Amino acid sequence: MPSPYDELADKTYRKYDYSVTFQLVPSTYPLDWSSSFNLLYSLAKNRYFFPKTRSMLGHITTEINCKINGKMEREFIGSGPKDLMGFRKYILAGYGFSVLNRPGQNPELPLLTIDGQLDNEKKDFEEFNALISKNNFGTLSVLVNETDCQSALEFARAYKEKTKSTPMAGNRYGFGADPEKYEGAGCAPLAQTLMRKSGLTQLDQKFERPLFVPRELVGNPEKDNLVSLWQLLFKNDKLDTPAPGFLEFHFPDPQLIYDYLISLNDKNPIVLESHFFPGSQCPLKVVRYQ
Q: Pairing state of beta strands 270-276 and 283-288?
A: antiparallel
Element (H, E) at 60: strand 59-68
DSSP 96: B
pLDDT band of 10, cuts 50, 70, 90: very high
The pLDDT value recorded for residue 50 is 79
Whole-number percent of the chain with pLDDT over 70? 100
With bands split at pLDDT 50, 70 and 90, how would you rate the model's confidence at 1? confident
SS3 for 134?
coil
| Amino acid found at 250 | H
With b for 16 or more beta-carbon neighbours within 10 A and e for fewer, the 156-191 pattern comes to beebeebbeeeebbbbbbbbbbbbbebbbbbbbbbb
More reliable by pLDDT, 44 or 194: 194
| Residue 67 confidence (pLDDT) | 98
Q: Which residue from 182, 226, 183, 203 is spatially nearest to 92, judged by alpha carbons?
A: 226
Q: Is the overall model pTM greater than 0.85, yes or no?
A: yes
Which residues are within 8 A (CB) of 95 and not within 5 positions of it... i.e. 6 or more apart? 110, 112, 219, 220, 221, 227
Q: 127-164 pLDDT, tens per residue? A: 999 999 999 999 999 999 999 999 999 999 999 999 99
CB 56 within 8 Å of CB 84: yes
Q: From residue 132, give the alpha-carbon distance in Å to each of 80, 128, 239, 260, 264.
A: 20, 6, 32, 18, 20
Q: What's the pLDDT score for residue 128?
A: 97
Mean predicted lDDT score pLDDT of the chain: 94
Distances 170 to 104, 114, 181, 212, 261 between C-alpha atoms, Å? 20, 11, 12, 29, 27
Domain assignments of the chain as residue spans, ordered by start = 4-82+118-207+252-288
Residue 160 confidence (pLDDT): 98
Mean pLDDT calculated for residue range 189-213:
93
- For residues 152 and 19, the answer to whether their CB atoms sit within 8 Å is no
Is the pLDDT reported for residue 206 higher than 90? no
Residue 102 is predicted with a pLDDT of 96
Q: State the pLDDT at residue 123.
A: 96
Rounded Cα gap, residues 277 and 13, in angstroms? 13
The pLDDT assigned to 138 comes to 97
- pLDDT score of 267 more than 80: no
Asked if residue 25 lies in contact with residue 131, where contact means CB atoms within 8 angstroms, the answer is yes
Residues 120, 82: contact at Cβ < 8 Å? no
- What is residue 23's three-state secondary structure? strand
